Amino acid sequence: MIPRLAPTRRGGVVAALGTSLTVAWASSYYIPAVLAVPMAEDLGLSPVWVFGAFSMAMVVSAMVGPWAGARIDGAGGRGVLIGSNLVFATGLVMLALAPTPLMLFAGWAVIGLGMGVGLYEAGFATLTGIYGKEARGPITGITLIAGFASTVGWPLSALMLAAWGWREACLGWAVIHLLIALPLNACLPTGKATTPGAADPAPAGPPPSRLALWLLAFVFAATWFNATAMAAHLPGLLQAAGASTAMAIAAGALIGPAQVAARVLEFGLMRRFHPLISARMAAAAHPVAAVTLIGFGGPAAYAFAILHGAGNGILTIAKGTLPLALFGPAGYGQRIGWLNAPARILQAAAPLVFGAALTLWGVQAIWLTAGLGVMTLLALALLRRR
């Protein structure tokens, strides 16, 4: 029997959940970049079809997110997260064994189910169930660890691909879920306000206004769109601005460290301030980066990557801390599921939409994401503290 961590051992809880979420992200969101082309070649498809299956998986995750959040609210997150590892492993095995494109799509649909019950939203809701209104620090902590999912996932997927093949790489990730991520999730506390004082002792206030909920849903949708568009097309965008291929790749490599550095800042200095303040500052980063890129061209590639990465790093945390700070811990899981559902759908469309804009307008396509960044900042300015 796997021993459980006490809720008071915050460092252990954060380390266990952060590591299991790293596996979840690395084996779902980040595998198409490495495995999509060999998957497509093996099954006689264009890679576009594999990315289409991945987009479908994100839509599936949007559909099941609210249910998962409500389940975590009622029974805690430990069981849901353990279930997510089983679902992820099943979907990965289906990919590995897929003899036809139909089976490939089915495998991605199952992985989408795992994404809906086993990524950040489920982790944030689990921590809120354990620590209540004190969950901001642990939420930041797990994003610090899982922020390295691409750093770990891409090389490991590439290594397994080179050594064994794409099917065996999928099987390898399934084994990692069962032997590493699942036991780590099994160590977690139940996730149902088990820490003394975690539950909010104040009486429940009025329900959140519909305007506030819509504003926050827009913020999440716009930031997910921008993050996914940049993840898919950053090298091409920087080259359109005049950067060389080597410079574009080097600049893109700075995004991960910039995200982590910004999250460290949020974990330290910025934790003294209301999450709305750090979110507003982060929302301004991408528009400022866009103006810098348009104004200075290729030489500004590094500045663009650092500014965008830093802003995106803090906004990822805001997806967990803002609903908690604005609306409180009651009903948090289901609420965050609904708030992030539009974001998942826009995230699925982002590579196609921004890719078309980049083809039509070149570097001027950056005004699309910059405009969304400005609208995000305006939406955050309209939100008020609880």
pLDDT tens digits, 43-101: 999 888 988 898 899 899 989 999 999 999 988 899 999 999 999 999 999 999 999 99
Q: Is the pLDDT of residue 191 over 70?
A: no
> Rounded to 5, what percent of the chain is helix, strand, coil?
80, 0, 20
pLDDT tens-place string over residues 129-144: 999 888 888 998 998 8
- What is the mean pLDDT of the segment spanning 186-198? 67
pLDDT tens-place string over residues 209-255: 889 999 999 999 999 999 988 877 888 899 899 988 888 888 887 88
Q: Look at residue 149 in the predicted model and tell me its pLDDT.
A: 85
Q: 42: which 2 tokens?
A: 């093996």
Q: Is the pLDDT of residue 102 over 90?
A: yes
CA-to-CA distance for 346 and 286, rounded, in angstroms? Answer: 18
Domains and CATH numbers, the chain: 10-186 (1.20.1250.20), 210-382 (1.20.1250.20)
Q: Look at residue 359 in the predicted model and tell me its pLDDT.
A: 87
User: Is the separation of the CB atoms in 318 and 136 below 8 Å?
Assistant: no
pLDDT tens-place string over residues 339-373: 988 988 888 888 888 888 988 999 999 999 999 99
- Return the closest-CA partner of residue 182 out of 93, 84, 92: 84
Question: Which sign, positive or negative, has the C-alpha torsion 363, 364, 366, 370?
Answer: positive
- Return the closest-CA partner of residue 32 out of 11, 12, 15, 53: 53
Q: Look at residue 15 in the predicted model and tell me its pLDDT.
A: 95
Q: Where does the pLDDT of residue 307 fall: very low under 50, low under 70, confident under 90, or very high at 90 and above?
A: very high
